[in-house]
Copies of this chain bind each other. A is one copy, B any other.
């Protein structure tokens, strides 16, 4: 029996994608060779890379002048690449601190130059998105984290700024329609809505690059990677291929507009149960609730063993909360079917009946 996989990431991928990926490991494109034993410069793989980039542009409706890269090192390496490419030696970067990942991002920027934390929700354990703060003019860039996986908060509106806007969208890219012309640099580790761990999607407005006075090491230089079409060094072939398959799946489903509707439906069902059921309490402030990561706690921890047994018996996995928040976290990324969300709601209701 297939589990109900609520893992926060790496996380659930579409079943058809897993089938095709499994086949390609044995025989890719019918060429009698495995996907993972051919040259990344072969026509077969170059076509995969080209298609993956084209699908990103199409699905996100990227404006002219934006380019797409598939790199390695996850968002963690982007925390360093963003300031290396955009923060001048005399300039200042602004960061919005909405959780552990934002904090890690700004730490790397501090190693390279001047950083201002313009707002933080640390005072309340990161359970909300700051809204009232002043944005200074003249920043080299402003950095934000669109969805905070650990806490289950999500930006609904992005800041209006005259600086470059940089966004870590690791855990909600491809989940909702956004106007990408507002962003100058977007990055995302693949392992939520796009594919397996091992590749990082980077979307960059080309005209912002090459403007600062810093020497950039080759592997950290977006312009180097752009000039080689993401093949400056050997790309993570398997991760890029599975990402391409997942993007194809999303396109066949109707694209980002269609998945956003499904995501809203899944999330509203689950949040409705949390709000209705007296045994549960949501962690994030209602206005900032994430459509991807639903965080909640028990109102009475003495029933914990019973609840844990019930969801475990129902074939649910991966809903333990992050250690820094506790409680539970149901990650309901794009590939999560409504039926799995319903299975969790059924367990929550059975739990209520057994307690009463």
A217 at interface, CB cutoff 8 A: yes
Nearest Cβ in chain B — how far from A323, in angstroms?
10
Give the contact stretch, choosing among A32-40, A119-127, A161-169, A268-276: A32-40
Q: For the complex, is A158 an interface residue (Cβ under 8 Å from B)?
A: no
Q: How far is the CA of A242 from the CA of B34 in the complex (A)?
A: 13
CA distance in complex: A218, B11 (Å): 25
A345 to chain B, nearest CB (A): 21
CB-based contact A196/B111 at 8 Å: no
B residues less than 8 Å from A11 (CB atoms): 37
Tell me if A263 is interfacial: C-beta within 8 Å of chain B. no
A76 in the interface (beta carbon within 8 A) = yes
Tell me which of A232, A238, A317 has the highest count of chain B C-beta atoms within 10 A of its own C-beta: A238
Contact with B along A1-43 (1 / 0, CB 8 A): 1110101111111000011011101100001111011111000
- CB atoms of B234 and A9 under 8 A apart: yes
- Determine the main DSSP class of A at the interface with B: loop
* CB closest residue in chain B, given A22: B25
| Cβ-neighbour of A36 out of B1, B10, B23, B317 (below 8 A) | B10
Interface size of A in residues (CB-CB distance below 8 Å): 63
Contact B32 A2 (CB under 8 A): yes
- The CA-CA distance from A1 to B8 in the complex, in Å, is 41
Q: Which residues of A are interface residues toward B (Cβ below 8 A)?
A: 1-3, 5, 7-13, 18-19, 21-23, 25-26, 31-34, 36-40, 72-77, 79-80, 104, 107-108, 111-112, 189, 191, 195-199, 215, 217-220, 232-239, 242, 317-318
Known: A9-B234, A73-B73. 13 other contacts (CB 8 A): A3-B31, A3-B32, A10-B40, A13-B34, A13-B36, A13-B37, A18-B34, A80-B218, A80-B220, A108-B218, A189-B234, A196-B238, A238-B238
